[in-house]
A and B are shown apart, each in its own frame.
Chain A
Amino acid sequence: GNSVTQMEGPVTLSEEAFLTINCTYTATGYPSLFWYVQYPGEGLQLLLKATKADDKGSNKGFEATYRKETTSFHLEKGSVQVSDSAVYFCALILTGGGNKLTFGTGTQLKVEL
């Protein structure tokens, strides 16, 4: 079956530090890949996505590259801010079969001054 594996959290960084949150996936076909962000008490917001191998999704300084050879979609940001503190979810979707999102367990990011 399909699955997404994310690094365990929480990840605690100082402001302006470099961020990497690892995400790897297993899928029976060629999925589209997503990163969602969840702020406390809120729903999920789409952060970025990539639909095919070697695509790079980017938004608000965050980037992730679809690596088919390593089945990975790691999230990166060059300089985090306190306002980036949230839970980040990696997810995949395969066309067909209801187009259901398969989520990782989420990684909590805490950014301190």
Chain B
Amino acid sequence: DGGITQSPKYLFRKEGQNVTLSCEQNLNHDAMYWYRQDPGQGLRLIYYSQIVNDFQKGDIAEGYSVSREKKESFPLTVTSAQKNPTAFYLCASRAADGRNTIYFGEGSWLTVV
């Protein structure tokens, strides 16, 4: 089945550690996105990439890093510089077909302990 796969679903991290969240899509979409969602709140854009080997900061990029070495993959690293990393992280992708529809993965819960 085509879709967006995020892993792991649940992740615990000690303070001071970096952690990488995986996002893979087999939809042949060009653009990919990372959003952060805090409990009871909306979504905020962390980073996005419109094409392989290119990405831009979103609204809350500090403390995060990404790479886009392959079209299918857009991993997000939450670094120790991120002060409040505990959140629900959502990956999304969009086809360059003019329909502008963005599809989401199932999300990853990150908890700092």
Contact = CB atoms under 8 A, between A and B. Distances in A.
A42 interface: yes
Interface string B33-45: 1000000011101
Interface string A22-61: 0000000000101010000111111001010000000000
Interface string B74-113: 0000000000000000101010001111111111000000
A51 B100 contact: yes
Contacts of B43: 44, 89, 101, 103
A101 B48 CA distance: 11
Interface residue tally on B, bucketed by range: 20 to 34
A99 interface: yes
A15 to B, nearest CB: 24
Contact of A32 (B100, B104, B105): B100
B42 A89 contact: yes
B22 interface: no
B101 to A, nearest CB: 6
A95 B58 contact: no
Contacts of A45: 104
Given A43-B90, A89-B42, A98 B107 contact: no
B17 to A, nearest CB: 24
B41 A106 contact: yes
B31 interface: yes
Contacts of A98: 31, 48, 50, 56
A109 interface: no
22 contacts: A32-B100, A41-B107, A42-B107, A43-B6, A43-B105, A43-B107, A44-B43, A44-B92, A45-B104, A49-B101, A89-B42, A89-B43, A95-B98, A98-B56, A99-B50, A99-B100, A99-B102, A100-B45, A100-B48, A101-B33, A101-B92, A106-B41
Interface of B: 6, 31, 33, 41-43, 45, 48, 50, 56, 58, 90, 92, 94, 98-107
